[in-house]
Amino acid sequence: MDVAVVGAGAAGLYAALTAVEEGARVALVSRSPLAQTASYWAQGGIAAALAQDDAPELHLADTIAAGRDAARESAVRVLCDESPGRVRDLERLGVSFDADRQGNLALGLEGGHSQRRIVHAGGAATGRRITRELSAAAAQHDRVEVLEPRAATALTVAGGRCVGLVARSRKGDPLPLLARATILATGGMAALWQRTTNPRGAVGAGLALAHAAGAALADLEFMQFHPTALRVEGPQDGFLITEAVRGEGAVLLDERGERFVDELAPRDEVALAIQAQLDQGGRPAVMLDMRSVDIGRFPNIAAALGDLGLDPRRDVLPVAPAAHYTMGGVACDLDGRSSLPGLYAVGESACTGLHGANRLASNSLAECFVFGRRAALAACEDPEPPAAAEPDESIHTRPPADETRAALWRHAGLRREAAGLRVLSSDASPLARLIGASCLAREESRGAHQRSDHPQTDPALDGMHTLVDSAGTPRFERWT
Ligand SMILES: Cc1cc2nc3c(=O)[nH]c(=O)nc-3n(C[C@H](O)[C@H](O)[C@H](O)COP(=O)(O)OP(=O)(O)OC[C@H]3O[C@@H](n4cnc5c(N)ncnc54)[C@H](O)[C@@H]3O)c2cc1C
């Protein structure tokens, strides 16, 4: 095998399709069916400077501002320059984006963007439409071997390189795979937190595998909380209501029915303002009023609310923040290379430094395609794997216990402090321990990381990321 890709969300599918275009043979390993990827659920769209009056420089300025002086400018530049080209590639692959009456791409506005630049499909069904096309293309390609349902349970390291992985079936049968390069595209870890917008499988399996194999992780303290996740009893609790509805005029109301925040400010600001309301009033939710919004533009939101007996043309909707997006991940260069040769990471499992301390809305799907492609091209150039190698299966990735999810929500939620974070140091989950250590090390407040005991931003940490190597002790380094 030339390239093994772990994960079949937007990043993994796109990396696999890029690699086969280069002539590679690809094994695509996925633990779950498509509907259980965050990519499938993505609503708003892809950020790309495509409007006449927009430019990559403007997109770059918005991304840097949202990242709260912690983003890696070189990564932001790559994203903003290359995202328009990837949107055009997706169109060539058969994705049909929403158009205006003149047949031009209909561009949405989301929080933190100074321009309309969000490309979307099927209203708020963007992820579903894209993953449908990409997975069909991957399934039909004769150089892609789809191994699903199979979970990567260990990476194989030989001579200081990652040379493949072990993929286990649901029954536990191991399938060792050797490859010149392994690309992790396993998504984020927001489902490690009790209240989340993510599918249950988003528990950072790729981060755990990479760490166990000796690759460095970065910025684990930066978990983005989405401001407007539905607050209801039952399984629909946490259902995300895209900020694109706020771009179309939806407003947030306090208990007196008054607005209290600029609804289009970056996410960290809006989430904290909502949380402050909840803390003050001791209530479970504030209200999102989208009665003035054309709901026909968001058919999947209307359908999900309809199942709950809610009509957004008539009812105001209870919302509260929920863990949503992992800004940290496997520390990578601009071609997705991790610190372990032969191992790459893309999409939400990677940390290129692009998002800094606060991701700008709709930059993550763009990231999947921009960096998924770059990693696939680099991976195809790696040397052949050895004829045989022994995997180390001593470390398995297990689903998190309910206690871990509760502890992360309580101690590493929207506001943290040292005493609570120290509790995480004895958690059963190795990832929870690393998250706690990273949160403790960053003695400041910045973007998604708000320390009650260190409420100021420390200018000495501008442009610095938190690196965790195999020893598990965080240290700060400057992005280059
Ligand atoms: C509700 C919601 C709405 C969103 N809306 C937007 C939006 O509008 N715009 C935007 O830019 N971003 C949005 N995001 C974020 C964005 O969707 C994600 O960041 C992005 O889709 C992540 O893609 P991915 O390919 O990295 O991971 P995922 O799509 O999560 O895919 C991960 C894959 O890895 C597999 N996997 C995991 N562990 C293993 C293992 N051990 N072995 C084998 N396979 C494994 C999973 O089965 C899955 O196939 C949204 C997220 C959510 C949850």
If you take atom 3 of ligand 1, which residue's CA is the nearest one?
42
Q: Kindly report, residue by residue over 106-147, the tens digit of the pLDDT.
A: 999 888 899 999 999 998 889 999 999 999 999 999 999 999
User: Are 185 and 9 in contact, with CB atoms under 8 Å apart?
Assistant: yes
If you take atom 37 of ligand 1, which residue's CA is the nearest one?
186
Ligand 1 pocket, Cβ-based, cut-off 6 angstroms: 6-12, 29-32, 36-39, 41-45, 126-127, 151-152, 185-187, 197-198, 201-202, 205, 240, 325, 347-349, 362-365, 368, 397
Out of 5, 13, 14, 41, mutate this one to test ligand 1's pocket (max ligand atoms within 8 Å of CB): namely: 41
For residue 124, give the ligand 1 atom closest to its CA.
8
pTM: 0.95
Among 255, 262, 261, 304, smallest CA distance to 280 is for: 255
For residue 347, give the ligand 1 atom closest to its CA.
26
Residues assigned a catalytic role: 267
Q: Kindly report, residue by residue over 39-66, the tens digit of the pLDDT.
A: 999 988 999 999 999 999 999 999 999 9
Q: Kindly report, residue by residue over 440-466, the tens digit of the pLDDT.
A: 999 999 999 999 999 999 999 999 999
Q: Kindly report, residue by residue over 211-234, the tens digit of the pLDDT.
A: 999 999 999 999 999 999 999 998
- 144-to-24, 55, 344, 373, 472 alpha-carbon distances in Å: 9, 36, 18, 16, 36
Dist. CA 191–CA 74, nearest whole Å: 29
Out of 5, 28, 37, 177, mutate this one to test ligand 1's pocket (max ligand atoms within 8 Å of CB): namely: 37
User: Are 205 and 35 in contact, with CB atoms under 8 Å apart?
Assistant: no
pLDDT average per 10 residues of sequence, the chain (480 residues): 96 98 97 87 93 97 96 98 98 94 91 94 91 95 96 94 95 95 98 95 96 96 96 92 90 94 90 93 89 90 92 95 97 98 98 96 97 98 89 71 96 97 96 97 97 97 94 92
Instruction: Show the CA angle centred on residue 364, arms to residues 235 and 346, nearest 5°.
Output: 105
